[in-house]
Amino acid sequence: MTTARPRLVVLGLDGLPLRLARALVISDGPSLPNLARLTAQASSITAELPELSPVNWTSFFTASGPGKHGVYGFTVLDPASYALRIASFSDVRVPTIFDRLGERGLVSRVLNLPNMAPAKLLRGMLVAGFVAESLDAAVYPLFLLGPLKAAGYRIEGDTTRGAAEPEYLLAQLRQSLAARRAALDLLWPDLAWDLFVCVLTETDRLFHFLFPAVEQAEHPLHAACLAFLAEWDALVGEVLARYDALPEPKRLLVLADHGFCALEREVDVNRVLVEAGLLRLGRPARDEWDAGVISSESRAFALDPGRVYLHRQDRFARGRVTKAEAPTLKQDIRNLLLGLTWEGRRVMNTVLDARELYGEGAAGDAPEGQPDLVCVPEPGFDLKAKFDRTEVFGVYGRFGMHRPEDAIFCDTAGGIDAPVRVRDVGRLVLEHFGLGAPGCGITGIIT
């Protein structure tokens, strides 16, 4: 007698806050029956910090926090050359949940999961998501390339014109929805898998540019946004229908990687440091990415979104801060940032010591790439760390921002060990298949 596979499906709804989801399903707009089904049994989880997609989806697929997996933001700084690059799967320092399942002979199919490129060998199939340099670099095994290209698959729609041309943005998002549907048709049907992960990133892109239009019924683009969300809901329904058709035993997990809210002002942390005399620029920046402007006179700098690094002698080629100076300087910067205000309102909710947040390395030193401070803003203030801005506060075409709280989550199995953070959902996946999570079980402690 053959034992039935206890299949697990994970549906990622990037950036979807539970509060907004519940408001949408009772609004006067188009019906969103599949979202209503999910919100009826949903709770919320908290994002890892910083509340960015590569940090959180990596925390999900490694079942560990940034202090272990090593992805702290969108960007990575070379401490010798000061060159800034986009973080990728190559920066992940620990095995993935797919590696752990593969060691037990279990098969994973993974669709549009961020930070999984460049694609590497796994037991199963992978079409990685943002940020992949090309479809060729996002796919494993390579025989998937032909069918995906024939279907017109795209990793991401073009959102560069999103702020100025909302109709163009919505058209691009519809095309990326069609791509997800085509890949779903390719990866799902044979059921020769144990774990299926599908992430829909279109909500995040929509919210960055049009969050007020989604949230406010009086907004002139509200109807257009809800019409798009009805199409998105239909694709969610296709995933749910496929799940419903699976034989028992089965389980569905649904999660967002972070929440969202309306953006009032972008706040450039590097400009704050410049105006405080802590960041000295050796020359004019060529662009926002030009970290090479950090001079030997600098005592601190920031990387996206609010990661602050002391410019230490033992960490950076041009660093000047000694180990003895670091504790006092760190506290001074924390006080500076906590005191930052805009029109009488405080900008920062908290500024955390990264060693307390993530833990220290084996030798007591911070692991490579780990910041010294991590800033968490108040709602409405979106932190940035550019190298070419001349003002602390501004609006630059985005009107929605990530939040660490209120990310949607639901689990058809219920259970008493409800996840607290995004990493805990990865631990649930391992536990579902009888594998212990790396380090410990579900917990609210950040490591």
Is residue 113 within 8 A of residue 130, CB to CB? The reply is: no
CA distance 207 to 256: 13
Contacts of 265 (CB under 8 A, 6+ apart): 342, 380, 381, 382, 393, 394, 395
The neighbour count for residue 131, using CB atoms within 10 Å, is 18
The neighbour count for residue 30, using CB atoms within 10 Å, is 15
Which pLDDT value is given to residue 371? 98
What is the pLDDT of the chain when averaged over all its residues?
Answer: 94
pLDDT tens by residue, 308-318: 999 999 999 99
Q: What is the mean pLDDT of residues 169-187?
A: 96
Which pLDDT value is given to residue 438? 57
- Per-residue pLDDT band for 444 (boundaries 50, 70, 90) equals very low
Contacts of 316 (CB under 8 A, 6+ apart): 79, 82, 309
Phi then psi for residue 292, to 5 deg, are: -65, -10
Place of tokens 């662009």: 287
CA-closest candidate to residue 259, choices 417, 46, 11: 46
Which pLDDT value is given to residue 157? 87
Phi then psi for residue 251, to 5 deg, are: -155, 145
In angstroms, what CA-CA distances link 393 with 44, 220, 407?
31, 27, 27
pLDDT tens by residue, 348-359: 999 999 999 998
pLDDT tens by residue, 39-55: 999 999 999 999 999 99
Is residue 131 within 8 A of residue 116, CB to CB? The reply is: no
> Structural domains in the chain?
7-261+402-432 (3.40.720.10), 265-394 (no CATH)
Is residue 35 within 8 A of residue 24, CB to CB? The reply is: yes
Is residue 358 within 8 A of residue 446, CB to CB? The reply is: yes
pLDDT tens by residue, 95-121: 999 999 999 999 999 999 999 999 999
Q: What is the mean pLDDT of residues 194-201?
A: 98
Which pLDDT value is given to residue 367? 86
Is residue 10 within 8 A of residue 196, CB to CB? The reply is: yes
CA 256 to chain centre: 9
Which pLDDT value is given to residue 364? 56
Which tokens is 262 given? 């309306």
Which pLDDT value is given to residue 327? 97
Least confident among 106-110, 362-366, 418-422, 437-441 = 437-441
Paired sense of beta strands 124-128 and 139-140, if any? antiparallel
- Per-residue pLDDT band for 268 (boundaries 50, 70, 90) equals very high
Q: What is the mean pLDDT of residues 121-147?
A: 96
Place of tokens 């919100």: 39
List the beta strands (DSSP E) in 311-360: 341-342, 345-346, 348-353
In angstroms, what CA-CA distances link 199 with 157, 202, 370?
15, 9, 27
